[in-house]
Structures are given as structure tokens and as C-alpha cells.
Amino acid sequence: PYTTDLMVSCAAGLAGDYLGREQRTLVINSSTNNPELLLMLVSLGLGRLGGIATPLGSNFANIYLMFFVAPLFVLFKWFFKRDFNKILNLMTLINREKKLVIWHSIMSLTMFGFASIAYWCLTGGFQFNYLSEDIPLRTWHWLLIGVLICIIGIGIFVYFENNLKKKRPGLFEDITEEDFESNWWKFFLGTISLTVLCYVLNALFLAYTELYSSVLSQWLGSAVFVGLHYFIGSLISSLPEANVAIKNYERLTSPDLNTALASASQSNMTNLALGCFGCIIATILLLTGLSYKL
């Protein structure tokens, strides 16, 4: 979360300089998906397709983190600080913007639905069922179907988000920017540090798969590496989004509430794009005859 924080604040500042103020919300929530991207790419580099489960699994983690854990964390924090006025203000804001909350909830669940179908195309199983380690790899035809599913989901999100931007442009243009810093060097430092940490995390997952497979298989099925990526890797890689959501819930404005909620919906759309990218890479690698495991 700390290396991603550095990268995200710089990415938002740079986006304001080069892409326009209205694009900062998308850049903030898309750049928090870099851990998912790097975990997936490092996993593919290690000869495992299971890393694609990280961005697909993050769609599940984002829903409970952003809509339940993050706001409850903020409320408990203010409760113990006895900031009851802030609690009331947040509840009033959410009630006033309930249509916005419902919009983001529907979009997040829709993206999760498409991610679930893409996961099935990748593995041949439902994400909450046990997977066998020796399950035969899906053919490249199935992976391309997964790509198509992801593209359809992305198209649906972009269409409805553009409609929201036209109706309420202020939600995307008037966000608080006190933490943003337009600095290329810090952006690259955060990205490089994140890459190293993602490699270490993948190495740990491989080690856990070898050392503790008998224990972990009771919870994750015998395809332990995939399960670790879907449930643990996705949770860890979603913590930056949760951090963004917490900060923006605390700011008590409609644009910042939109940014907090977009930590689920926009990030879920970006995760679909990453899953699509991963399936394309996997298809190419399989067509070249390289041998891969889940």
C-alpha cells in the first residue's frame, strides 16, 4: 500500500497536468491496480497462469473492502475520536447521494459478474469451488472467449460512466487534490518498488504452495497457487484501493465520495482489462507451445 500510495499520488498529479482534471478519478483508481498487473505478469514470467486470478479476484475483494470495510473503518475511527458530527455528516452525504451509491454498487457487481465468467473460461471452475492442481489447461479458444467477455464488460462500464460524466461533470472535476504531486521520479520509484514487492509476493506464494499444500488445499483446493492469488493476492493488492477509499470517505464531499466508491467500480473495470490482457498473453504463449501450469 505504501509504494502504491506514492505512485498513485504522483500519477494523479501527472494526469491533471497532461490528461485533464476530469481524468484524475480514473487515473487514481486505475493506477491502484498496478499491483494486480505486476502480480499477474510476474506469475506469467514464472510459468504460472494462476496469476491472472489476482485481477479477477480483486473484483470480489474490492466490493467488500470499499462498500463495507472502508466506511466502517472511518465510522469507528470517528466514533473512538468522538467526532460524532463527522459521522452524522457522512451518513447525511451517503443518504443524499444514494443514487450515486447504487450506481457504483450495480457497476461493481456487474464487473464482478463478468470477471466470474472470465475466471471460468480460464480455469473451467467457479471461483469459490475447489480446483484440482492437475486440472487440464483450457485451450486457447477458451482464453479468447474470456477476452471477449472482458471486453464486453469494459464496454458496458465505459458507456454508463460517460453518461454519468455528462450528467454530473463536477463529480470528476472537483475532487480534493491536496495529496497530489506531479513528479515523474517519485512515480517511477513507486512503480519499481512495487514491482520488486510483487516478485517477492509471487515467490512466497510458490514457496507456500510447495511447503504447505497439504494444509492449504483443505481451504483452497489442490490448485493452491491459483487460490492464493484469487483470495490472498487479490486482498493484498486491493489494500491500496481501500486506502484511497478511506481517505476520500473522510473528506465528506460528493466528488470525493464518488472517488471512494469508484475505488470499487472503476478498479473492477480496470481489473477486467488486466484479465483481458493476461488472457491475451496466455493465449499467445500457449500457441507458441510453451508449457504452463495453473
Question: CB–CB of 99/26 below 8 Å?
Answer: no
Say how many C-beta atoms besides its own lie within 10 A of residue 168's C-beta. 14
119: cell is 475466471
Please name the residues in contact with 139: beta carbons below 8 A apart, sequence gap of 6 or more.
Answer: 286
Among the listed residues 53, 52, 65, 156, the one whose alpha carbon sits nearest the alpha carbon of residue 111: 156
254: cell is 460528493
pLDDT: is 24 or 271 the higher one? 271
The C-alpha atoms of residue 87 and residue 91 are separated, in whole angstroms, by: 6
Question: Which pLDDT belongs to residue 164?
Answer: 93
The C-alpha atoms of residue 235 and residue 284 are separated, in whole angstroms, by: 28
111: cell is 464487473
Question: CB–CB of 283/42 below 8 Å?
Answer: no
> pLDDT tens-digit profile of 145-161?
989 999 999 999 999 99
Can you tell me the mean pLDDT for 92-109? Answer: 95
Question: Which pLDDT belongs to residue 98?
Answer: 94
| DSSP secondary structure letter of residue 127 | T
The C-alpha atoms of residue 34 and residue 37 are separated, in whole angstroms, by: 5
For 53-69, b/e burial (b = at least 16 CB within 10 A) is bbbbbbbbbbbebbbee
**Can you tell me which residue has the cell 484511497?**
244
Task: Report the percentage of the chain scoring pLDDT > 70.
Answer: 82
Say how many C-beta atoms besides its own lie within 10 A of residue 31's C-beta. 26
> pLDDT tens-digit profile of 171-190?
887 777 666 778 888 888 88
> pLDDT tens-digit profile of 104-140?
999 999 999 998 888 888 777 676 665 555 566 677 7
- Start-to-end CA span in the chain (Å): 27
* CA 81 vs CA 69, 76, 78, 87: distances in Å: 18, 8, 5, 11
Q: What are the start-end ranges of the H helices in the chain? A: 2-18, 24-31, 34-45, 53-64, 70-80, 84-96, 98-123, 140-167, 170-173, 184-211, 213-220, 224-227, 234-249, 254-287
Distance of CA 81 to the CA centre of its chain: 31
The C-alpha atoms of residue 58 and residue 38 are separated, in whole angstroms, by: 13
122: cell is 480460464
Task: Report the percentage of the chain scoring pLDDT > 90.
Answer: 29
